[in-house]
Structure 1
């Protein structure tokens, strides 16, 4: 049922429960392919992965699938490439790299895993890794709002999940300054998890 509601969300179909035996069509991606561009060496170049970016965080960090198929790579938008023997190469120490490094610091500060947070999997030479979620990043907008009960149930569910996530990170003295769709990803069961932390603050840490 939730899967049909999600397809309805994404495609703007008239009703989420009429097509019992067929999948609703997915809208075309508006994102650009990253194949041939500068991405970390660990990135997946499988056709189904490299046809578009997994997502990005406010244009400051890009996210691409890892070649392990289970995680994603977060790296700064000023990334210029790397060589196996030379490590990370960039133009300067501009804000994007600092923000990615700071986000990794926030994840380390949180320490423990929480079901309402996208799991942190450690640093890389270009940034850090996170678990890969499906369907993943929350769309910036849906074709149209709906007041139908199935759709409203998702809104209520996501609101509750957001509150639980915020309660947890606040208990760790971490505060978000950028809570929006770009910091929300969805799991396979359509539960919500918070991600990013590029613009978060840790109380008492400058």
Structure 2
């Protein structure tokens, strides 16, 4: 070491240069990773669902099931990688038929001893989620008509298939012990929606409350989609 001090100096310099290069290269890799990774949204399962029978028109004596739930997200993406929620839907299956509902409005739900009360906050609309942030809103969903071709028969395409009456819903619900709800969110500029599911327990108390008061707010237990 004393005989050839310059060799030791060069070796230390090489090690420091290599370390600096690796750190710089690692930084470039991380930047590239975050760039490709983009926004990272997590959709959380609601802890409750609101089951509400709704009368659309005074002249229509029928009431139809509508779903309400708190929909919450977190964006764990790197700074600058924001996301926009474009559309939210909920679906459930009863009697072999799948029923779909689409977001309609942001509401404030309040459960009382007798029924679920609701207050409209705003219309549902695309919602930005900044990187590193989270949002949560109570969404009131509603069934929409299907678009059927003019020549299609009702057996092939029933435009009102998503509208489930109070009587039909209660009758079909009486045949199951659990009912699963799948919440789906379409994110702007992303090809596939993100989904999460939860399940309610169906018992005599729930069915009786729905029949008597026209609404209920059962717990919804998270499931893996």
TM interval, short-chain normalised: under 0.3
**TM, length-normalised to structure 2:** 0.23
Using the size of structure 1 for normalisation, the TM-score is 0.24
Q: Which has the higher helix share?
A: 1
Question: Quick check: which has more Rg, 1 or 2?
Answer: 2
